[in-house]
Amino acid sequence: MPLILGIESTCDETSAAIVADGWGVRSNVVSSQVELHAKYRGVVPEIASRAHLQNILPVLREALRDADCGLDQVDAVAVAHRPGLIGSLLIGVTAAKAIAWALHKPLIGVDHVHAHLYSVVLETNSQPPMPAVGLVCSGGHTALYAMRSMEEVSLIGSTLDDAVGEAYDKVASILGLGYPGGPIIDRLAQQGDPKVLRFPRTYLQRDSLDFSFSGLKTAVLYHVRGVPGKVSSAPKEPPTGQELADLAAGFQAACVDVLIEKLRRAASRIQAKSIIVGGGVSANTGLRNALPRLNLPVFAPPLRYCTDNAAMTAGLAFRYLQAGQFSPLDLDAIPYSRFTEPADSR
């Protein structure tokens, strides 16, 4: 029963976990930085890096203690080394390399986006039927993947501008709702009527699997503040009460409709047998309620594994351990995903 220590520091969560056999979560400790970044309404890279530096050792100690595990019992050290904020990545990667070197343990670098897709395996050891369409939707990513197996993954669609979670945060900022915006808007949407305000759905070309949420965000801005230069559209008072709930519901319905339509197109294109959804927005109530419309088996992680965490990193690393695929001790922190690697860097 191999035990893998996972480390996650790609953005603003510092996390460490111990996972057995690729799915048995012995511990998963996450230190959030939401309060540090809330007043800026978004993640400040320098602040995030300094917080990771302060949190990484306490989080590692707690994960080992919760798992009742010593470092000498760990069979490999895994780290999410891409994609993410470079300063944040460096903290986790440096810690992982130091531990692996000191203990003479294998080091395994994992793609954070790939790990989000793997998160559906955690605790349940679920094995989605393949081929599958994978959707990673979060504050930094909105992309579709063709999955022949949990290891064989290829990018088939991505956002042309804002990620869907980013759109949620920006709309929340427009409405003065606070940060992060996703959970706030989701709660409000459950109290509203999505038919009162119909915001635009951007589907792009008929067969496109790409996303665009900037137009939807702008439509909300113009609805709230008026259209610049248009006399008949003077700025309004910020919505409150039921009006605010209806606006949130209308916005969320537009986001969900686009995600579902793109999943439907992708499933048809690759003749998928299942749908896999991961990332922070996979916790969204509206999206989860809409997924049955696809008429395919849907696999989504438990809510605690939707946002960034080290358990998914350690879980995916188990597959690399089985295959004997290890990383060198000069493993780099890389800001882009392996699925979107620039051609000139290959």
Token reading at 301: 């992680």
Burial class (CB in 10 A: 0-12, 13-18, 19+), 343: exposed
3-state secondary structure of 53: helix
pLDDT of residue 345: 38
Segments in the chain below pLDDT 50 = 343-346
Peptide bond into 194 cis (omega under 30): no
Domains and CATH numbers, the chain: 3-119+306-345 (3.30.420.40), 128-301 (3.30.420.40)
Beta-strand relationship, 24-32 and 132-137:
unpaired
Distance (Å, rounded) from C-alpha 312 to C-alpha 120? 9
pLDDT of residue 344: 41
Tell me: the pLDDT tens digits for 292-301?
999 999 999 9
Q: What is the pTM of this model?
A: 0.93
Tell me: the pLDDT tens digits for 157-216?
999 999 999 999 999 999 999 899 999 999 999 999 999 999 999 999 999 999 999 999
Distance (Å, rounded) from C-alpha 8 to C-alpha 19? 13
pLDDT of residue 296: 98
Distance (Å, rounded) from C-alpha 23 to C-alpha 84? 24
Token reading at 110: 């994992």
pLDDT of residue 229: 63
**Residues with Cβ within 8 Å of residue 337, at least 6 apart in sequence:** 82, 83, 111, 112, 113, 114, 141
pLDDT of residue 232: 54
- Scan for tokens 């088996």, then name that residue: 297
| Cβ–Cβ < 8 Å for 96, 78 | yes
pLDDT of residue 210: 97
